[in-house]
Structure 1
Amino acid sequence: MGNRTLRRSKRKLQRGRKQIDEPCTGKQRHEELSFHRDDGRHGSDDIPRRCTSYSAFRIYDVPVTEDRILTALRGVLDPELGGDIVELGMVQSVDADPDGSVTIGIALTIAACPMRDRIEQDVIRKVSALEGVTGVKVETRAMDAEQRSQLMAVARRRARDNAKPTNVSPLTRVVAVGSGKGGVGKSSVSVNLSLALADLGHRVGLLDADIWGFSIPRLIGTHARLSAGEDRLLIPVNVSGIQVVSTGLIVESEDTALMWRGLMLSKALEQFLNQVAWADDLGYLVIDLPPGTGDVQMALSRMLPQAELVVVTTPQIAARNVAARAANMARRSFLPLLGVIENMAGFTCEHGTTYDLFGKGGGQTLADDLGVPLIGQIPLDPLVVADGDAGLPIVRAHPESPAAAAFRDAAARLADAFPPAGDETCVGRIARILEDLEVPAR
């Protein structure tokens, strides 16, 4: 570089510094940036910049558009559902006036949504930060049934996309059996429903998720122990044609008490889903849930978002109300409800008279309130208790009994309304057509 060129460059640099050290307008700022950008010999980092005019950075006459508002609202998350309110379909309307005032309509899952205040505050904060907005008003209302269904579908898809893979095939229909309380016979329902589904020709697995209060081994009549294969995965015990997994197949004896805290319960469920060699062609995996709405239920919805819930209740009002809370928990956890099974529906004596010992109609009332079908009504039969204690489920020990017939009817309704996911694929439908035509599949 010659001396003349070097002196010229120094003079330019000095003029640039002088301009930057003075308060600038937007036009000056533009000129300064142009000067430093066009001068290939001096990078912008070589020159200390100072601009005391705030107006140099402002952008005037920015229109407040719906797109800009929706972009801002994507930063507002529903704390319970875990998605932004735009994706979840909670933003119902966006109105922006020329003076910069904005009105936003938000639909909440329920009118008394506990997250209402937080969502409103986040909406106001995000939209108020937009240039040109002079005021924000939020109008909230409750969603209708169709909107809630659409929202749950989105939330369920998000949960499925974010869930870690398990050893349960995504084509397996996962049926969780819950009641919200103990003593309604959900374990007996789980066992007999599983066997009835197997009798219909489906490949069935049965998971005892009642970690503390396991009873499936006793009810199904097995004293086997779980063992690990070469791949170190636990091999389910095959009992009466179904795959069975339970903590009762791990402990030393049936009387062993498990003194585990909530975290251990979730870990046990995770192990049963991730470290068990479940068959790839399982049509149904029936999961016997523990009473209540605690750790296992919440962990199941997180680990296995494909799960769906069958609610078991007795006709008694108290049991029905608790079962309704279990259904409410399921919906808040994005577990779809398949239906209701009413157990101990009535006792018929040897003379043919039926006595409603626990009331009447509780299952149908609960199903109507939840908007789901009543899948079955299982009569109160002493044989269910006696056969279960002997390890001989009634659908196999006394298939001619009214209770066994009721279990088979419930399984048939469940299979007809909710077939295995594999049967709903194109390949599954073609296979069924070929089977109906008695054409051997290749």
Structure 2
Amino acid sequence: MSQPVTPAPVAPAEDAVRAALATVDDPEIRKPITDLGMVESVTVGADGAVRVGVLLTVAGCPMKAELSRGVTEAVSRVPGVTAVDVHLGVMSDAQRSELRTTLRGDAPANEIPFAQPGSRTRVYAVASGKGGVGKSSVTVNLAAALAQKGLSVGVVDADIYGFSVPRMLGVTGKPTQVDQMIMPPIAHDVKVISIGMFTPGNTAVVWRGPMLHRALQQFLADVFWGDLDVLLMDLPPGTGDIAISVAQLVPSAELLVVTTPQLAAREVAERAGSIALQTHQQIVGVVENMSWLELPDGSRMELFGSGGGQAVADSLAASTGTRVPLLGQIPIDQTVREGGDAGTPVVLSDPDSPASTALRGVADALAARQRSLVGKSLGLTPAR
């Protein structure tokens, strides 16, 4: 009796392999590598072995291992593929220039996308009157909570002298530059940029006003943020150069004021918020941090007093003639400090803690807000 003949394996079609590659996003740009011109070649052997040539944006791309792994996994899932060989090359200057045009279009190199009339990004400048009120902790936790809700989120660490956002988000990598575009590192699905990524070690930044303005402008214009839903800017305490520059560079930015219940903090927070009168910015609300300490018996110890956040909100509402809500009260919670030191925001590391619950409430309020119409054309024409 003759033995049944086993049919030879059918090699996968090249179109199927390219379709699989279209599901692979560049880890930094977050767009399919097929749309970015990064797939140089695809070769399919008769035995099902596939060789893929991928062009890196720069030779020292820090995410090349992750990119190679993503390509291998995607192509391996195609029926008939027996082996995957990923060959990494580097884009030429002309290809990088073409990539920049693909991402930024014809926009000038120094154009700030968030300041354009058609921008759909909500920009929140997180401000405080004095240091030590937990402004940066609030910023990174709100960013992580908003990203967890599925929004595209970016953070600008605009506190040039006292930068701390990279540590709190666990960012250790450096930005990559592609044809005058800076690709921001991503942590917990949040894109982030900080002067701390450009300084060696824990070196202090000693700059005057013009340098601060230029650094902020570069963070906003030269960094490729993509299509953000929300951009959070962690401002330095007070009403100095950076606060003024934000109002000039991104007029539609709205202020989110952080304070503690303490009288001294409340008074200076009111001054920080009142800058909106001079810059014509809107105040989105007030967050009261370190509101109380929950004791084991369920009672609350108000270490810094009480009512400060509501008092700031009421004062700013009266001075600006607008509604300024108290968006939330964040209790003192050791897990907030632990999350900041570990580089994992508490809303992710301990989502059921009292502080996490309060922070997510503030994030929900920000996510539900309508986008600002400041500076946007309504498309109206005068009646004849």
Q: TM-score range by the shorter chain?
A: 0.5 to 0.7
2:167 aligned residue (184, 207, 218) = 218
The one-character-per-residue Cα deviations of 1:29-87 (angstroms, maximum 9, x if unpaired) are xxxxxxxxxxxxxxxxxxxxxxxxxxxxxxxxxxxxxxxxxxxxxxxxxxxxxxxxxxx
The one-character-per-residue Cα deviations of 1:365-390 (angstroms, maximum 9, x if unpaired) are 11112220011111111111122111
Q: Report 1:272-291 matches (<5 A).
A: 272-279=219-226, 281-291=227-237
Q: Report 1:32-431 matches (<5 A).
A: 165-168=111-114, 170-229=119-178, 231-253=179-201, 255-279=202-226, 281-371=227-317, 372-419=324-371
DSSP 3-state at the match of 1:228: strand
Specify the code of the residue in structure 2 equivalent to 1:187: S
Which structure has greater strand proportion? 2
Q: CA deviation at 1:419?
A: 4.6
Q: CA deviation at 1:226?
A: 1.3
Q: CA deviation at 1:420?
A: 7.4
DSSP 3-state at the match of 1:417: coil
The one-character-per-residue Cα deviations of 1:99-148 (angstroms, maximum 9, x if unpaired) are xxxxxxxxxxxxxxxxxxxxxxxxxxxxxxxxxxxxxxxxxxxxxxxxxx
Specify the code of the residue in structure 1 equivalent to 2:121: T
> TM-score, normalised on structure 2?
0.65
Q: CA deviation at 1:417?
A: 3.0
After TM superposition, the runs of 4+ consecutive aligned structure 1 residues lying more than 2 A away are 417-421
DSSP 3-state at the match of 1:378: strand
Using CA pairs below 8 Å that are at least 6 residues apart, which structure has the higher relative contact order?
2
Specify the code of the residue in structure 1 equivalent to 2:276: A
User: In 2, Cα distance between the equivalents of 1:366 and 1:378?
Assistant: 15
Unaligned runs of 5+ in 1: 1-163, 427-442
State percent identity of aligned pairs: 48
Specify the code of the residue in structure 2 equivalent to 1:199: Q
> TM-score, normalised on structure 1?
0.57
Distance change (3 Å), C-alpha of 1:408 and 1:425: farther
Residues 331 and 337, structure 1, Cα contact 8 Å, conserved in 2: no
User: In 2, Cα distance between the equivalents of 1:263 and 1:419?
Assistant: 31
Distance change (3 Å), C-alpha of 1:224 and 1:408: same
Which structure has greater helix proportion? 1
DSSP 3-state at the match of 1:345: strand
Residues 293 and 300, structure 2, Cα contact 8 Å, conserved in 1: yes
The one-character-per-residue Cα deviations of 1:341-362 (angstroms, maximum 9, x if unpaired) are 0000100022212100001111
Distance change (3 Å), C-alpha of 1:420 and 1:235: farther
RMSD, aligned CA: 1.9
Q: CA deviation at 1:165?
A: 3.8
Larger radius of gyration: 1
